[in-house]
Amino acid sequence: MKAAVVVFPGTNREHDIANAIALTSGAKPAMVWHGDSELPKVDLIVIPGGFSYGDYLRCGAMAAHSPVMREVKTRAEKGVPVLAVCNGFQVAAEMGIVPGTLMRNAHLQFVCGDVHLKVETSQSLFTNRYQQGQIIRVPVAHAEGNYFVDNDTLKRMEDRGQIALRYCGADGDLAAGNPNGSLRSIAGVFNETKSVLGMMPHPENAIEPRFGGTDGKALFESLVAAIA
Amino acid sequence: MKARVHVTLKNGVLDPQGKAIGNALHRLGFPEVGDVRQGKFIELEIEETDQTRAKARLDEMCRKLLANTVIENYRIELVA
């Protein structure tokens, strides 16, 4: 599986996710600077976490218009899989390659710690190594992860199965685990064709037992299984 | 000419920052304060003399970058 990780000024999780991809796929991803106009031919594009452009204007708003992102958008529209994590999710939402937007956390605080997630479907490039309904534990670290989308779009997304992950308690209770006020406890969403996944939690930081858990590993293994 | 763009949250979109500002004002002794909504104010210099053209360009700027129309409304004001 050939992957490219897009790096902006202010990105800080690119090495974590590159490491996760290298560990699971056996191949190091290409790191692509945001100012580049060319993107290598790859099977997977990753938009990692961090604070691109210092979160100026709105989180992800500036990065969404970086030179390389025009090409990312074109590839995404052609069906090249895109994994967008945390700030990457905010960028993807600003680009319009996934629906909705990420607002300031409802309690206004930065959340940093492990959360439980319910995997809503195993029928995707990103989740085929999980069971539907499986509860996993991965970390979050963000101040703007409060997912919002208008009611009509939300209904269409629910009908089409575009909700990938929801926050929940350790027992799966959706009311218990919402760390940021997200609508319907949404932690991750697909585009219509499920070739793009945007998610706030960091699966790349839950792949080694020494660092508190390995529940994120199956997401990368899913991609390797589906793509490689 | 100079333009002013006001970006505000749409009705029905929760504004936790506005709420926090309201609470702080209450604590400071302003109990008369009700709902508070926070927005953005952006001032731009643009090289354009035609008002209609300027408005059209600004509208495009708002849709492309200055506002996120999923949650925000914008209002454009031209200043001579």
Which residues of B are less than 8 Å from A65 in CB distance?
A: 64-65
By CA distance, what is A101's nearest residue in B? B70
Nearest CA-CA partner of A97 in A114, A111, A80: A80
**The pLDDT of residue A211:** 87
Report the residue of chain A nearest B40, measured CA to CA: A57
Please tell me the distance from the alpha carbon of residue A160 to that of residue A182, in angstroms, as a whole number. 19
Cβ atoms A72, A44 nearer than 8 A = no
How close does chain A come to B70, measured CA to CA in Å? 7
Name the β-bridge partners of A82: A45, A196
Helix (H/G/I), strand (E/B), else coil: A38: coil
Of A14, A34, A59, A86, the catalytic one is A86
| CATH number of the domain bearing residue B63 | 3.30.1280.10
Which CATH code, of 3.40.50.800, 3.40.50.2000, 3.40.50.880, 1.10.1740.10, is assigned to A3-227? 3.40.50.880
Q: What confidence score (pLDDT) does residue A76 get?
A: 97
Listed by start position, the domains of chain A span 3-227
Q: Is A204 a catalytic residue?
A: yes
Q: pLDDT over 70 for what percent of chain A?
A: 100
Asked if B68 lies within 8 A of A101 by C-beta distance, the reply is yes
Secondary structure (3-state) at A98: coil
The answer to whether A85 touches A46, Cβ cutoff 8 Å, is yes
Inter-chain contact B16–A104, Cβ cutoff 8 Å? yes
B-chain residues within 8 Å CB-CB of A58? 68
Residue A29, CA distances (Å) to A22, A147, A199, B29 in order:
7, 29, 20, 57
Cβ(B5)–Cβ(B62) below 8 Å? yes
Whole-angstrom distance, CA of residue B66 vs CA of residue B43: 11
Gap from A46 CA to chain B (nearest CA, Å) = 22
CA distance A88 to B18: 26
Tell me the chain B residues in contact with residue A148 when contact means C-beta distances shorter than 8 Å.
Answer: 13, 70-71
d(CA B21, CA B39): 12
- Out of A106, A146, A149, name the one closest to residue B70 (CB): A149
- C-alpha distances (whole Å) from A223 to each of A192, A213, B64 are 18, 19, 32
Q: Report helix, strand or coil for A175.
A: coil
A181 and B14 within 8 Å at the Cβ level: the answer is yes
| Rounded mean pLDDT, B17-30 | 94
Q: How confident is the model at residue B12 (pLDDT cuts 50, 70, 90)?
A: confident
Q: Which domain holds residue B12?
A: 2-79
Provide the residue-wise pLDDT of chain A in tens; the chain has 228 residues: 999 999 999 999 999 999 999 999 999 999 999 988 889 999 999 999 999 999 999 999 999 999 999 999 999 999 999 999 999 999 999 999 999 999 999 999 999 999 999 999 999 999 999 999 999 999 999 999 999 999 999 999 999 999 999 999 999 999 889 999 999 999 999 999 999 999 999 999 999 999 889 999 999 999 999 997
The answer to whether B79 touches A112, Cβ cutoff 8 Å, is no
A160-216 pLDDT, tens digit each: 999 999 999 999 999 889 999 999 999 999 999 999 999 999 999 999 999 889 999
Domain total in chain B: 1
Cβ contact, residue pair A104, B13, below 8 Å: no
- What is the pLDDT at residue A145? 97
Contact A63, A9 (CB under 8 A): no
- Closest partner residue to B68 (CB to CB) among A58, A108, A146 is A58
Query: Taking CA atoms, what residue in A is nearest to B42?
Result: A57
Q: What is the C-alpha separation between A14 and A158, in angstroms, rounded?
A: 31
Among B8, B15, B70, the residue to mutate for chain A (most A Cβ within 10 A): B70
8 A C-beta contact, residue A98 and residue B68? no
CA A136 from centre of chain: 15
The Cα B11–Cα B14 span in angstroms is 8
Q: pLDDT per residue over B30-75, tens digit each? A: 999 999 999 999 999 999 999 999 999 999 999 999 999 999 999 9
pLDDT computed for residue A212 by the predictor: 86
CB contact under 8 A, B16 and A108: yes
Res. B28: pLDDT tops 80: yes
Q: Among residues A82, A103, A99, which one has the least CA distance to residue A17?
A: A82
Using a CB-CB cut-off of 8 Å, the residues of chain B touching A70 are: none
Q: Can you give the pTM of this predicted structure?
A: 0.93
Q: Which of B14, B65, B71 sits opposite A61 (nearest CB)?
A: B65
